[in-house]
Chains A and B, each alone.
Chain A
Amino acid sequence: MPNIYRFSNLIHALDESKGLTESGYTFLDRDQQETFMSWDTLRQEAMRRAAHFRKYGLNKGDRLAMVVPDGEDFVPTFLAAVWAGLVPVPMYPPLSLGKLDSYLDTFVAICSRAEPLYLVTPGKLQQVLWSGAAKVKSLKGIITTEELKEPAPAGASQDPAQVTDDDLCFLQFTSGSTSTPKGVEVTHGSLRANAWAIMRDGLQSEEGRDRGVSWLPLYHDMGLIGFVISPLMHRIPVTFIPTMSFVRGANIWLETISRHKGTITFAPNFAYALAVKRAKPERMKEWDLSQMRVFGCGAEPINAQVMRTFVDTFKSCGLKPEALLPCYGMAEATLAISFIGLDQTLSTDVIDSDRYQTDHAAEAVHVDSKKKLEFVCCGKTFPDHEVGVFDEKGTRLKDRQVGELWVKGPSVCRGYYKDPQTTERTFGGGWLRTGDLGYLVDGNVYVSGRKKDLIIVNGRNYDPQRIEWIVDDLPEVRKGSSVAFSRPGASSEELVVVVETRTQNPDALKERVSQAVTEQMQLTVADVVLCEVGSLPKTSSGKLQRAKTRQQYLDGTVGKEGTRTLGGNAEKVTLAKHVALSLLGRGKKRAQRLVEHSLSIRSMGDAVSKLKLASEYMQSRMKRARR
């Protein structure tokens, strides 16, 4: 262990917390009542609860499933499991008005991979989870969080477990519903390295000056590592807002930052959009955000416009533009990979969209260019870490060449739990293959898309295959003839489904597709496109190509490639564009979007349908703008 580190691991940091009663974590409940737990209290809670776990016969290395929604229960329980050398497996709680069946399916899938011996959950959730838990063979029983609050059982050890850097600290499962859940193995060593990179290299946090404020779910890497583990290892106090309180009323986020004098917070892109959407001038008057050093933004693609609107909206509250901190990271790298500098403001790179799509090159163009793409700068990686861009053959690419982002360094996790094949594919050869596409400019990371076809909506990951399976099951859709992918949206990515069909009733089928996906995935479908059988791009083995279909969709050529040429249509398109502009293009920005959209549908059927599409598009945009 290099001697720069203050603590060798999380257990060590807890062990050294004796007598530290002034600083620690503050938990708000839904009624805004505060519970304070000092570093010393957290240590004592961890010891007591660890004794309970040991009484159940749990030993070092045993997995422990956790479904604990309340932060003040979650944090000491998680720390206790780590203290006892167990491997906690945090999972998200059942959603409100959700489909409990599909939640329980995911629960069972994760447990079947992690093979926990026990499940910890509050008594009130026990009944909800029971039918899922009964299907998990490895589970011996349920431990309630209420039990853990009882006095430590006599005869059970409260001593810290002896761990090495290579020992597992916990398993981080991906946040959304994916068909085969993968558990990232976070070791004590990778955790310490990333906690240091975040708190020292990235944020230059200082005890006595900084305070974190977070509403992020604690079963998710950004909430758990970013706000529970890293701050504890660097003695930065944190105020925790219940995630549900934020989603139910976004104002609580900035209000709490103001009231608790927070200096550091992180959230995905959608939260910044939601904060703006829900902000009320009369409440904003009371807010002071001038002490804020870091508004970190990561976990899903960052929309530059959302960030700019956020800064504009809250500058009257004292928000400094340089507080905004776009970053890049993923669970496989423990959490963080790169941050922009603390003194830097949001910056973007505007590149030529044609060159990007045809030559995989990021050629800078003027902001006013018609064919442009804009990507947010996510900064440089940390000392001792390296980010490289590689092509399909594994050749390292130069600056401004687009390829897959690979990461190396002490923060990279060991692999996926009990999944050697996927581990080799992702972590093999000394580099973590992120699956993200992007490029570098002087060491600055720009993320431009994804190699693996993951769909990220509101910070949650969805496997396109699962959506396609749902659609393929519908009448009038044959197996293997639908494609799901995402398109950029205003506040988050949006889901698009393209289906090959011979249906006579397209509207009804579109409706059924939307309904089936929403019902089973709790996900809104932004667009359903139906096209002729045989018109979508396929691989040599006859499978539909997602990436290519997506590109055709964005280009407006989906389902039409090779079947039609522009020719005489071009004039009609120009006419449609002009009419649409004069009809609907009021604001400059809206007009620009409309032109882009008209361009993107240049090869579709006749001019009338283009106009209709453009007008529908405008209406949805305007509706969004009004909200």
Chain B
Amino acid sequence: MAQVNIIHMFEQAAHEVSGKKLTGLTKDTVIAKLGLDSVAIMELVAHFEEKLNVRLPDEDLAKVQTIADLAQVVKNRAPKGTEVTW
């Protein structure tokens, strides 16, 4: 069964698209507070999609505020049996 750690993947993606080293993220971290601009955020979403081979719909992403929300969207779209943790 595949395992996905959202926080780990998020930190990796943020570093790749914006060069930012994020630390101390929790499931309740509000993504909008992380200092990433809107283009970086979209690139970050692309990173998730590529790594997980899923499509995250814009209308679901629009409502995402925290890491936990993002995990839920990923969970809904990931192949059956994928374990999504943070």
Contacts and interface: CB of A to CB of B under 8 A. Distances in A.
Given A518-B32, A627-B19, A458 B61 contact: no
Contacts of A575: none
A270 B32 CA distance: 21
Given A247-B39, A515-B33, A519-B33, A96 B46 contact: no
A125 interface: yes
Interface residues of B, number: 30
Contact of B35 (A94, A124, A515, A627): A515
A97 B45 CA distance: 9
Contacts of A247: 39, 42-43, 46
Interface residues of A, number: 34
Contact of A524 (B37, B45, B56, B63): B37
Interface of A: 30, 69, 93-100, 103, 124-125, 127-128, 244, 247-249, 270, 274, 457-458, 514-515, 518-519, 522-525, 623, 626-627
B59 A125 contact: yes
B63 A128 contact: yes
Contacts of B62: 93-96, 98, 100, 103, 125, 128
A519 B66 CA distance: 12
B25 interface: no
Contacts, number: 88
A96 B37 contact: no
A626 B61 CA distance: 30
Interface string B22-59: 00000000111111111111111110010000011111
Q: List the 10 closest pairs (A to B, CB-CB), nearest first.
A: A248-B46, A96-B61, A94-B62, A247-B42, A124-B59, A524-B37, A518-B35, A519-B33, A97-B31, A522-B38
Given A96-B61, A124-B57, A458-B39, 14 more contacts: A30-B55, A96-B41, A97-B64, A97-B65, A125-B59, A244-B42, A244-B58, A247-B43, A247-B46, A248-B42, A519-B30, A522-B32, A524-B37, A626-B19
A522 B37 contact: yes
B41 A97 contact: yes
A97 B61 contact: yes
Contacts of B41: 95-98, 522
Given A247-B43, A248-B46, A270-B39, A518 B34 contact: yes
A274 B38 CA distance: 13
Q: Which of B49, B55, B61 has the most CB of A within 10 A?
A: B61
B58 A93 contact: yes
Contact of A623 (B19, B33, B55, B70): B19
A496 to B, nearest CB: 15
29 contacts: A93-B62, A95-B38, A96-B41, A96-B42, A96-B45, A96-B58, A96-B61, A97-B32, A97-B41, A97-B44, A97-B45, A97-B61, A98-B41, A99-B65, A100-B63, A124-B59, A125-B59, A127-B59, A128-B59, A128-B62, A128-B63, A247-B39, A457-B37, A514-B35, A518-B32, A518-B34, A518-B35, A518-B37, A524-B40
